[in-house]
Amino acid sequence: MAFGRLERTPAAQPMSEINVTPLVDVMLVLVVIFIITAPLLASSIRLDLPRSDAAQPGDVPQFVTLVVDKSGQAFLNEQPVSADQMAQSLRQSAARNPDTEVQLRADQAVPYGRIVEVMGIAQKAGLNRIGFVADAPPAARP
């Protein structure tokens, strides 16, 4: 009696390569998420700043940010404040450091009188260094 050879199919070889497709997919999704959310983290108050060639950020060791939006609402360090609260906070900042700069950001639609009023509150509080923040104009196309 002759026994024949049993045919064996070759066993699957172990995979020696790493499939990076899922990793690339996840990384691309994260990049898209960061690209979309990065501009939202810069400023929570939406303004249309006027444009100026002299709008270059300076190196100021200590400053407070004072924002006036289209409706005339004032924000001190991103927090809405009334005129009395603003004056009190600015007086405290002036007491800590009289050289503190007020970086004033105002929408171009805000009336000039409101800007002068906010500047007057800052000066009465003892902060005389006021810097106006503006966007640079779009580059001219040749």
pTM of the model: 0.56
| pLDDT > 70: percent of the chain | 82
**What Rg value do the Cα atoms of the chain yield, rounded?**
30
The tokens describing 32, both together, are 């898209």
CATH value of 63-132 in 3.30.360.10, 3.40.50.720, 3.60.21.10, 3.30.420.270: 3.30.420.270
Cβ neighbours of residue 100 closer than 8 Å, sequence gap 6 or more: 62, 63, 64, 93, 94, 127, 129
The two structure tokens encoding residue 94: 């002036």
Q: Which residue has the higher pLDDT, 129 or 18?
A: 129
